[in-house]
Amino acid sequence: MQPIPVAILGATGMVGQRMVEALVHHPFFRVTALTGSERSVDKRYAEAATWRLAGDCPPQLADWIVRPTTPDALPAGTRIAFSALDSAVAGSIEEQFRAAGFAVVSNASNHRMDADVPLVIPEVNPDHLALVDGRRGFIVTNPNCGIIPVAMALAPLQARWPVEAATVATYQAVSGAGYPGESAWDMIGSVHPHAGNEEDKMAVEAQKILGAKDSAAPFAVSARCVRVPVADGHLVAVHVRLKGDPSPEDAKAAMREWTGKAPELPSSPRPLLVVTERRDRPSTRFDVDRGSGMTCTVGRVERCSVMGLKFFALAHNTVRGAAGAAIANGELLAVTGRLG
């Protein structure tokens, strides 16, 4: 396969840096451009983007000049625009790139609920990509970082015992807020409710992902989202009512057997779900990096006296929940021949 030329929109932020980290050596993709806001344009990437991840800015891209975030600023032939843009600006910019014929693979929330935009976790609902069939320019999105462990853990259950309702409480890492994001003053030895609209996003996104490509699943999800002093990794506590009321043992077996619906993808790990029997796990620091951050860890799958079943699930919020999610979606587009 010829390397597919891709650009990273909004490459200077935390999700953008995670994309840079993952794409600098990728079996399918070759980065052609890094874009930024006015403040960053025409600067060296390493200067525009103070590196916020471990180690240093990849030296291969450090000297690249940041380009404006417009379709005509990208080198000819660039096929995918991976969008790590902030939702404050992503809406119209992504539409411009779509209009210009790009496959926009976005982590931003703006277009997730559009009827013609698939909201995809490759292993969960790859068939939703059919929404873009036959188009050259389109937008494909991945879900909010908080719903990803919920959706991944529910996917193998939903296949046999449809979800009827769920209450969810999250333990969300600070990297979910980007950089600088949460103030250290607020997070030292403290937790607090997430002030944004995460709880609403979790409800509607779960319904779209776990539904059919043109009709949302009908269950209710009521979430409480809380920020905790953790760097990376969103843990969720899920209480769920499933049609058929499976036992914890049956639920665990379904999770362990689950291989997902996607074809083989570079970013999709084996196993997808690790189900641990340790009573004190999943624990963020110790489980977040499984499968290079793309495996979801589930634990304490137990009877719930109110809803029937309860469990914990954990996923890396800026890898499986953001940059890696988008890249896996890009891989799925490539493997399914939708970039032709």
1 belongs to the binding site for a copy of itself (CB under 8 A): no
User: Does residue 43 touch a copy of itself according to CB under 8 A?
Assistant: no
Q: Are 287 and 280 in contact (CB under 8 A)?
A: no
55 binds a copy of itself (CB under 8 A): yes
Q: Write down the residue that tokens 């003053």 correspond to.
A: 185
| Whole-angstrom distance, CA of residue 310 vs CA of residue 300 | 8
Least distance (Å) from a copy of itself to the CB of residue 71? 31
* Binding window for a copy of itself (CB under 8 A); candidates: 92-100, 150-158, 193-201, 327-335: 193-201
Q: Check binding of 88 to a copy of itself (CB under 8 A).
A: no
162 binds a copy of itself (CB under 8 A): no
* Residue among 127 and 200 whose Cβ is closer to a copy of itself: 200
- Give the Cα-Cα-Cα angle 218, 223, 224 (nearest 5 degrees): 170
Task: State the amino acid at position 101 in one-letter form.
Answer: G
Cβ neighbours of residue 244 closer than 8 Å, sequence gap 6 or more: 160, 161, 162
Pick the piece of the chain touching a copy of itself (CB under 8 A) from 71-79, 124-132, 220-228, 331-339. 220-228
Report the distance separating Cα 220 and Cα 2, nearest Å: 44
Across 10-66, the runs of DSSP E, i.e. the strands, are: 29-36
Q: Confirm or reject binding of residue 218 to a copy of itself (CB under 8 A).
A: no
The 3-state DSSP class for residue 114 equals: coil
340 binds a copy of itself (CB under 8 A): no
- 114 contacts a copy of itself (rule: CB under 8 A): no
Q: Which residue, 137 or 211, has its beta carbon nearer to a copy of itself?
A: 211
Interface with a copy of itself, residue 113, by CB under 8 A: no
39 contact partners, CB below 8 Å, separation of at least 6: 48
Q: Is 52 exposed, middle or buried (0-12, 13-18, 19+ CB in 10 A)?
A: middle
Question: Is 192 a known active-site residue?
Answer: no
Q: Which residues bind a copy of itself (CB under 8 A)?
A: 14, 52-56, 165-167, 169, 171, 174-175, 177, 179-195, 203, 220-222, 224, 226, 228-231, 235, 237, 239, 276, 279-287, 289-290, 299-300, 304-307, 310, 312
